[in-house]
Structure 1
Amino acid sequence: MGWWQVNADTLAESRFVPSALAETTASLMVLHRGEAAHPGERAWLAAHLPAYRERLAADPLTALLVRAALGRRWIADFLTPTPTGEAGPGDGEAAFEEELARLRATPPDTARADLTVSLRGPLPARLDRSDLPARAADLLAWVWRETVRPTWPRRRRIVEADIVARTRQVGQGGWAAALEGMRPGLRWLGGSRLQINAYDNPPREISGARLLFVPVTPKAGWVSWDLSAAEGAGESGGPARAGAGGVTGRASGGTRPGPVGAAGGPERSRHRYAVVYPCAGQLADPERTAAPEPLGRLLGPARAAVLVLLDAPKSTTQLVALTGQGLGSVGRHLKVLLDAGLVLRRRAGRSVLYYRTAVGDALVRAQGEPAGRRGGLSAKHREKTSE
């Protein structure tokens, strides 16, 4: 199995961060795979997959590049640059362009070398050219513009809600609890060891590096590293599987990460390692959290949305992130729901978590039942009792 040696300071200083480019790359992987992980993703695929396939059909060279870069067991390193973690709030456009510029600036020789790794064999003659990074960047720009940016505010809210939930898990149960179920093969082994996948790779010493955790809404994930801030010989990354949790890495101009136990120099603090993982399923699938229209008429659409989201305990911060409503509005809705006996609250550390009562569950669950069965009586039985 592949694992990283992480000391306490590195883990304590690690951060959860959003990345518009990682979100777009994960979306490209779903388009390439052509299979949805949940109903919400199925609707997104139905809306965008035909245009994506049409674009690649009109550009066979880029289609060949995508197939080569998203190999069956490897992802080409240059396609997944490690996020910097410096993106600020906003619509994501500036952050996306800044991250994409790093990909576009990849030296052609590096891109070709990365493709031989993802292909696990020689580079096809048609890909022996210098415009591969530009072509990949142009395709990602198209995926962002046509399929991600229109829904970026909602995606960003889902990502932020996942960050809030993971951060709370760290505070309540430590890193082992937060990492549990994050992505296949990832878990805390103890003894300062973080397992990143189930592949038989040599361990990597990353103590002193910047460790980032990057949630994305599609069902995709990978790990990557960037050692380009340091001096020394370079090394390219390891095995990957798009959507199943892969590995990419670049040490262009960077020191080779030493084996476990190797001494790290002062430049190690400028290394970056990232774990990209899919958001929790109940957050990423909008159809699982959409308020039924009859419930919206009963409670009001905004209040109904809050009630539906409370199938699992959530804080007001998470509800604000998921709904896009203001803190004051969410607070007022929660008070009404509390007074009506539809939700309860409990304290968990520094957070107050809200969750549905049995009555609230029954109210939401009734929206999915035929009208004649609501309330536990069949239509036939009600006809008899009314005679």
Structure 2
Amino acid sequence: MLRIHFTPEDLTRVRVAPGPDFLWEITNSVQTLQRTDGERVFGAWRRWVRPRLPESRRLLSLLLPPHGYSPDFLTPTSGDRTTLGAAVDTLLGTPRPRLRAELTRLAATRRLPGWAAALAEGDPDALARLGKALHAYQAEALVPHWRHVRAALEADRALRARQLMDGGTEALLAGLGPDVKWRPPVLEVTYPVDQHLRLNGRGLVLQPSFFCWPTPTTLADSALPPVLVHPIQHAADWADTAGATEPATGRSPLGRLLGQTRADLLRATRTGCSTVEAARMLQVTHPAVSQHMNVLRGAGLTTTVRTAGRAFHVATAEGRALLAAENRRAGRGPGVNPRP
């Protein structure tokens, strides 16, 4: 059990991360790739990705076992992490004493190859090899799905914002899933080991992660800036529709009806999204989002609320009915896959 201890000040300093963290998605997916549970959620992705990852998968799997300790330096909490390149540069700048301490701790739990000793000493060639593996893994395993990953995390962020608006910070904490229990002033999280994290006024970052499975995770070193990485809900067939096995036309039935961008926007409004979030999610311009939203709104499929100079778009009952029909046609039920 992980127990996160809050002070009154900490309750005012809880925030949701603005988007996916590149290195958390890499590390969580490397670990999930080695697991056998979660077949209904990750089985298709595992079968698709395993043949595509010769060198980078082997190297990263040695540092990221599916169970037990993993080094914290692989998921830095400081520095520029807005792009994968910047995040990897931050990681490769980890001080040598920390590299040595964390890899020594990992070596106490499993046998490491010879190059890990060079990595622990900050050897430039070993660090460069790690950096190349991270970039190669992202390109092969995650980039084909990244648009879907980002969209799913944006939807989760909108859900957390709604929880916060409706019930405050305590509702936000209580709504993190079945593996999380809010027992004031302690957040109890299902965890493979007993660990206490005392925030002591530092606050807490909630980082949704597409590949975090099956329970939330955090850093081993409680002295680092506190973060709780938690799973999100997944569409039942996400690996089939996110790009890896998508039909050559790249257009779903709903996309053929509305146009692919409008269909994607309608899906994004299921849990609500702002113009800025939608533009970032779909990698289109803000004016393009506004134009398409005007069409969806005119058709009665979405509605828009404006506050503090920002537009927040939400699917109407008619829009949700159309999305539900799409899910039924695809045999996906409500469109959310339960835990196995």
TM-score with structure 2 setting the length: 0.71
Look up the match of 2:142.
148
What are the residue-to-residue correspondences of 1:46-57 with 2, within 5 Å?
46-52=47-53, 54-55=54-55
Structure 1 residues 158 and 321: alpha-carbon distance in aligned structure 2, compared to 1, 3 A threshold: farther
Structure 1 residues 174 and 282: alpha-carbon distance in aligned structure 2, compared to 1, 3 A threshold: farther
| 2:263 alignment partner, one of 304, 314, 322 | 304
Q: Once the 2 structures are TM-superposed, how far is the Cα of residue 50 of structure 1 from its aligned partner?
A: 1.4
Aligned length: 314
| 2:23 alignment partner, one of 14, 17, 21 | 21
What are the residue-to-residue correspondences of 1:261-276 with 2, within 5 Å?
271-276=224-229
Look up the match of 2:337.
none
The reply on whether 1:11 has 2:4 as its aligned counterpart is: no
What are the residue-to-residue correspondences of 1:164-203 with 2, within 5 Å?
164-182=158-176, 185-190=179-184, 192-197=185-190, 201=194, 203=196
The reply on whether 1:112 has 2:87 as its aligned counterpart is: no
Look up the match of 1:224.
none
* Percentage of identical aligned residues: 21
What are the residue-to-residue correspondences of 1:143-292 with 2, within 5 Å?
143-149=137-143, 152=146, 155-182=149-176, 185-190=179-184, 192-197=185-190, 201=194, 203-220=196-213, 243-250=214-221, 271-282=224-235, 285=238
Residue 179 of structure 2 contacts residue 190 of structure 2 at CA under 8 Å; is this kept in 1?
yes
Q: Once the 2 structures are TM-superposed, how far is the Cα of residue 49 of structure 1 from its aligned partner?
A: 0.8
The residue type paired with residue 231 of structure 2 is P
The residue type paired with residue 25 of structure 1 is T
Residue 79 of structure 2 contacts residue 87 of structure 2 at CA under 8 Å; is this kept in 1?
no
What are the residue-to-residue correspondences of 1:89-128 with 2, within 5 Å?
91-102=83-94, 106-116=98-108, 119=109, 124=111
Residue 9 of structure 1 contacts residue 208 of structure 1 at CA under 8 Å; is this kept in 2?
yes
Look up the match of 1:231.
none
Deviates more, 1:201-210 or 1:284-293: 284-293
Q: Once the 2 structures are TM-superposed, how far is the Cα of residue 275 of structure 1 from its aligned partner?
A: 1.0
CA distance in 1, matches of 2:237, 2:171: 20
In the alignment, structure 2 segments of 5+ residues that lack a partner are: 121-125, 331-340
Q: Could you say which structure has the greater relative contact order, defined with CA pairs below 8 angstroms and 6 or more residues apart?
A: 2
Give the secondary structure class of the aligned counterpart of 1:281.
coil
The reply on whether 1:355 has 2:322 as its aligned counterpart is: no
Residue 270 of structure 2 contacts residue 320 of structure 2 at CA under 8 Å; is this kept in 1?
no
The reply on whether 1:337 has 2:292 as its aligned counterpart is: no
Look up the match of 1:45.
46
Residue 70 of structure 1 contacts residue 76 of structure 1 at CA under 8 Å; is this kept in 2?
yes
Structure 1 residues 359 and 193: alpha-carbon distance in aligned structure 2, compared to 1, 3 A threshold: closer
Give the secondary structure class of the aligned counterpart of 2:117.
coil
CA distance in 1, matches of 2:85, 2:119: 23
Residue 2 of structure 1 contacts residue 198 of structure 1 at CA under 8 Å; is this kept in 2?
yes
CA distance in 2, matches of 1:63, 1:367: 36
Give the secondary structure class of the aligned counterpart of 1:245.
coil
Residue 3 of structure 1 contacts residue 202 of structure 1 at CA under 8 Å; is this kept in 2?
yes
Deviations 1:208-231 (A, max 9, x none): 2253222222143xxxxxxxxxxx
Residue 346 of structure 1 contacts residue 352 of structure 1 at CA under 8 Å; is this kept in 2?
yes
TM-score with structure 1 setting the length: 0.64
Look up the match of 2:117.
130
Give the secondary structure class of the aligned counterpart of 1:167.
helix
Residue 305 of structure 2 contacts residue 313 of structure 2 at CA under 8 Å; is this kept in 1?
yes
Q: From the CA coordinates, give the structure whose radius of gyration is larger.
A: 1
CA distance in 1, matches of 2:198, 2:288: 47
Q: Once the 2 structures are TM-superposed, how far is the Cα of residue 127 of structure 1 from its aligned partner?
A: 6.8
CA distance in 2, matches of 1:165, 1:283: 19
The residue type paired with residue 131 of structure 1 is A
Residue 180 of structure 2 contacts residue 189 of structure 2 at CA under 8 Å; is this kept in 1?
yes
Structure 1 residues 7 and 308: alpha-carbon distance in aligned structure 2, compared to 1, 3 A threshold: same
The reply on whether 1:295 has 2:248 as its aligned counterpart is: no
Deviations 1:312-338 (A, max 9, x none): 444444433433333332233233223
Q: Once the 2 structures are TM-superposed, how far is the Cα of residue 80 of structure 1 from its aligned partner?
A: 4.4
Residue 208 of structure 2 contacts residue 231 of structure 2 at CA under 8 Å; is this kept in 1?
yes
Look up the match of 1:65.
62
Q: Once the 2 structures are TM-superposed, how far is the Cα of residue 159 of structure 1 from its aligned partner?
A: 3.5
Residue 217 of structure 2 contacts residue 228 of structure 2 at CA under 8 Å; is this kept in 1?
no
In the alignment, structure 1 segments of 5+ residues that lack a partner are: 221-242, 255-270, 371-387
Look up the match of 2:333.
none
The residue type paired with residue 293 of structure 1 is S
